[in-house]
Structure 1
Amino acid sequence: MRRNTSLSLLAAGHACVDVYQGAVASLIPFFVAERGYAYAVASGIVLAASLLSSVAQPVFGALTDRWAMPWLLPVSTLLGGVGIALSGVSGSYGLTLAFVAISGIGVAAYHPESARVARLAAQGSHRAMSWFSLGGNIGFALAPVMVSAAIGDGSLSRTPVLALPALVGAALCVPVRRMAGGRRTGAATASKALRPADDVASFVRLSLAVVCRSVVFVGLSTFVSVGGLVSPLLGRLADAASLQAALAPLIAMPALSWLLFRTLEEPDVPDPGPSRPPGRGAGVSPPATYGKGR
């Protein structure tokens, strides 16, 4: 499969998955209007999706580092869609939290494996990886439109319609499975030999900066007092004071994120060496490539 074709399919599939990240926030106004949820109660729905997703994603990342799991792409896509599709069917708050949490697990399972496959398809191209990331951003941006079109003036009982992007995304995963099915034996050995020491301090600063960005992004994108893992605190503040008071702390987050980013040093990228082996017995063999000629 050609690189552009596989990356286009991966980017489109990424959009079909990340639409469910945006759908959680987009559904909040409908839950508030139809079920009379207070801000703090409604923010728990976002917490259910983001908390399990945040906890589960490193686990799936560790598994992806050990084994190639291309089958996880369609399965996780369907899981993310089914959770959101069922979230409005039951009037039970507990079941709503459970279904949204299931969707969050699906989204978390998708990203590490899809990133691995995208790196293989990109063949080291940063521009190609940016197209893959763009797909996710497009999906997130289209979530409010999709939710409004599906529910409109109706009720939350129409949320099963939101499963359609998952069906499309799962179908798009099928053509790229062969490309990513093999184990990365040669490539893994070579990359391990070239891997520099972990920079834990820079990783912590980068993680904190991303946390600040995520709180602001999620909190403002929903237009209600929900901000991922801190959503219950913001929700209670909005109920006790006002929505403006709850959103005010978000103003300082971008400045804090900038302070963390500016202290990061440029990472050392291992020299991949010449495109052809210099000769017999000359160091580590070049990493194996995947997806060519298939």
Structure 2
Amino acid sequence: MTDTGAPRTLEPPAPAAPHTPSPWRRMRLWGIAHAVDDLYQGLVPASVPYFVLDRHYGYVAASGLTLAATLGSSVPQPFIGIAVDRLRAGWLAGAGVAVAGVALGLSGLVPSYPAVWCLLLLSGLGVAMFHPAAGKAAREAAGDSAAAMSVFAAGGSVGFFLAPVLATPALIAWGVGATALFVPPAVLTAYVLLRRHRRQGPPAAARSARTGRDRWRPFGVLTAVEVIRSIVFFGMNTFVELYWIRHLHASRTLAGAALTCFLAGGVAGTLLGGRIADRIGLVRTVRLGSALAVPALAGLLLVPGSTAPLLFAVLTGLTLNLPFAVLVKLGQDYLPTRPGTAAGVTLGLAVSVGGLFTPLLGRVAEAHGPQGVLTVLCFVPPLALLLALLLPEPGRS
């Protein structure tokens, strides 16, 4: 081959394809903050059995503690979401973590039931302050990736998971006063979030404004699905330890392990649900989780012994949380111009409203024991499945 002597023109190298950070790198701050915030929500049901055992509260009084935290976190959520969308009050995320942690930490130190109840109400209010602001910021970081959004949502599941893991040994050793040990994480997380907000400022959120048509009817159906899911979640959270102690006659340690298994399954289900949704669609994932929750709950009740049912505790948590991140993202897709409001409802109001039913479940426990509560919960997920059949995909009219 001969050289023609013609000058050669060197082509510039093609620009490298932009690197997309992994879901974890994009969402780690908000995932960790969500874990810390929901740690305090998870500490309420984790500590309720010890208020029953150490202070001799009845089932209804114990359910009232869950109700207090639920009222604080549920009722203000829509109003806080509106404030986040209209006033860009991003600082509420950091302030909410601080209020949730400090109030919860003090609840085990005060002697009277009314004081405990009020502090748990205030802790719930802190949770309500966090979710809309954090949910809006997390969606801006996640974009349209359900897997990325699942990292943020899984942070909440991690917080619930860590609550009994960290609290059970401390509560067994020192009683309910050990709640004071959990104040420092709230203060540190609040400092990081408030410092970030001062540095970034409101204009960053304004640049990420979304447009589109809000679809309130499917959003209402989705909210009902989330409420039904949260009834089962709160019922399990509140009574699964007492089921192991009072019905299966297991030790407190094994009962704590049962709650831990349930919440560990919830973490796995939240992360798995986001990846499944990216493959098969958001609505199908919601239906899948609702359908699979029924056999998981039935297995928990029917398998004999006190160790073998731990597997079904994991499966129950997994199936219940399979739609969790999906519901959050789907709600923001239905309300594209109101991401803070959507997050406040799906992460806060709808989830917390499930706790409002715990006093009714407490009545069932008074009459039929904790096993009666779990039996009732077996009949709840089919309602979520029926409603999920009415949900349209977000891109379809």
Against the structure 1 CA distance between its residues 170 and 87, is the aligned structure 2 distance closer, same or farther, given a 3 Å change threshold?
Answer: same
- Tell which has more relative contact order, 1 or 2 (C-alpha 8 A, sep 6+): 1
1:216 maps to which residue? 232
User: Does the Cα contact within 8 Å between 1:216 and 1:250 map onto a contact in 2?
Assistant: yes
User: Does the Cα contact within 8 Å between 2:47 and 2:171 map onto a contact in 1?
Assistant: no
Which of 212, 216, 219 is equivalent to 1:203?
A: 219
Query: Secondary structure at 1:182's aligned position in 2?
Result: helix
Against the structure 1 CA distance between its residues 186 and 82, is the aligned structure 2 distance closer, same or farther, given a 3 Å change threshold?
Answer: closer
Against the structure 1 CA distance between its residues 10 and 175, is the aligned structure 2 distance closer, same or farther, given a 3 Å change threshold?
Answer: farther
Against the structure 1 CA distance between its residues 205 and 125, is the aligned structure 2 distance closer, same or farther, given a 3 Å change threshold?
Answer: closer
Kindly state the Cα deviation for residue 209 of structure 1 after the two structures are TM-superposed: 1.3
Identity of aligned residues (%): 37
1:181 maps to which residue? 202
Q: 1:19-78, CA deviations, whole angstroms, 9 ceiling, x for partnerless residues?
A: 111110000111001100111110000001112211111111111110212221221101
Distance 1:148 1:229 in 2: 24
User: Does the Cα contact within 8 Å between 1:68 and 1:183 map onto a contact in 2?
Assistant: no
| Larger helix percent | 2
1:155 maps to which residue? 175
Distance 1:186 1:161 in 2: 40
1:266 maps to which residue? 393
2:151 maps to which residue? 131
Letter of the aligned partner of 1:181 in structure 2? P
- Where does the alignment leave 5 or more consecutive residues of structure 1 unmatched? 271-294
User: Does the Cα contact within 8 Å between 2:84 and 2:90 map onto a contact in 1?
Assistant: no
Distance 1:185 1:220 in 2: 40
Query: Secondary structure at 1:169's aligned position in 2?
Result: helix
Distance 1:6 1:101 in 2: 33
1:271-290 equivalences in 2 (<5 Å): none
Distance 2:214 2:31 in 1: 31
Letter of the aligned partner of 1:179 in structure 2? Q
Query: Secondary structure at 1:153's aligned position in 2?
Result: helix
Against the structure 1 CA distance between its residues 199 and 155, is the aligned structure 2 distance closer, same or farther, given a 3 Å change threshold?
Answer: closer
Against the structure 1 CA distance between its residues 88 and 231, is the aligned structure 2 distance closer, same or farther, given a 3 Å change threshold?
Answer: same
Kindly state the Cα deviation for residue 204 of structure 1 after the two structures are TM-superposed: 2.3
| TM-score normalised according to structure 1 size | 0.82
Letter of the aligned partner of 1:182 in structure 2? P
Q: Does 1:109 align with 2:129?
A: yes
Distance 1:246 1:104 in 2: 24
1:219-238 equivalences in 2 (<5 Å): 219-222=235-238, 223=240, 224=242, 228-238=355-365
Q: Does 1:142 align with 2:185?
A: no
1:164 maps to which residue? 184
Which of 108, 111, 116 is equivalent to 1:91?
A: 111
User: Does the Cα contact within 8 Å between 1:47 and 1:228 map onto a contact in 2?
Assistant: yes
Task: Give aligned pairs, total.
Answer: 263
Kindly state the Cα deviation for residue 183 of structure 1 after the two structures are TM-superposed: 6.4
User: Does the Cα contact within 8 Å between 1:18 and 1:136 map onto a contact in 2?
Assistant: yes
Distance 1:5 1:268 in 2: 28
User: Does the Cα contact within 8 Å between 1:85 and 1:161 map onto a contact in 2?
Assistant: yes
Kindly state the Cα deviation for residue 199 of structure 1 after the two structures are TM-superposed: 3.5
Which of 99, 103, 117 is equivalent to 1:79?
A: 99
User: Does the Cα contact within 8 Å between 2:35 and 2:159 map onto a contact in 1?
Assistant: yes
User: Does the Cα contact within 8 Å between 2:137 and 2:205 map onto a contact in 1?
Assistant: no
Distance 2:139 2:195 in 1: 16
| TM-score normalised according to structure 2 size | 0.62
Distance 1:250 1:52 in 2: 24
Kindly state the Cα deviation for residue 115 of structure 1 after the two structures are TM-superposed: 1.0
Letter of the aligned partner of 2:230 in structure 1? S
2:375 maps to which residue? 248
1:30 maps to which residue? 50
Q: Does 1:56 align with 2:76?
A: yes
Against the structure 1 CA distance between its residues 238 and 127, is the aligned structure 2 distance closer, same or farther, given a 3 Å change threshold?
Answer: closer
RMSD: 2.3
Against the structure 1 CA distance between its residues 68 and 199, is the aligned structure 2 distance closer, same or farther, given a 3 Å change threshold?
Answer: closer
Query: Secondary structure at 2:394's aligned position in 1?
Result: coil
Letter of the aligned partner of 2:237 in structure 1? S
